[in-house]
Amino acid sequence: MNDLLFYLTILALLYYFFYYQPSHKKLNTTNPPLTKPLTHSQFTQTEPFQIDNPELAELKIKNQTLETKLETNQQVYQSKINEQQTHITNLQGQLRELVTRPLKPTNSKTTQTDSATDLTKTLDTLIKDIQALNNEL
């Protein structure tokens, strides 16, 4: 009984590999299938890449000019930022000096009010300068 089962499985495998396997079936070219025919090609072929392409050379030149413009713009903006930072530190130093400078008491109120108005004017100008710098940044 075991030998019979063994021989049947061998025969089934031989039948499958040598006769039934779908890759060995031939296509029926006389009767086309009932599906719609293709209206476009399934494969596309691209043009080979040309190294001496004039469009590529033009794009490289544009890229180089844009890179140089970018570098110069970065340098200009970095110098402006550095100038504004030094200006801000100078203004902050002046502001500290104004805050730490004690008011000398005087007998006349006009000199006190004059110095107070001077302080307010300088503070106003400092605030306007800082706002202008912030707007530029």
pLDDT tens digits along 32-82? 555 665 565 555 656 666 667 788 888 889 999 999 999 999 999 999 999
The more confident residue out of 41 and 11 is: 11
**Contacts for 126 with CB less than 8 Å, ≥ 6 apart:** 91, 94, 95
How far is 71 from 47, CA to CA, in rounded Å? 36
pLDDT tens digits along 77-130? 999 999 999 998 898 888 888 888 776 665 555 555 666 777 888 888 888 888
Verdict on whether the full-model pTM lies above 0.75: no
Percent of the chain with pLDDT over 70: 66
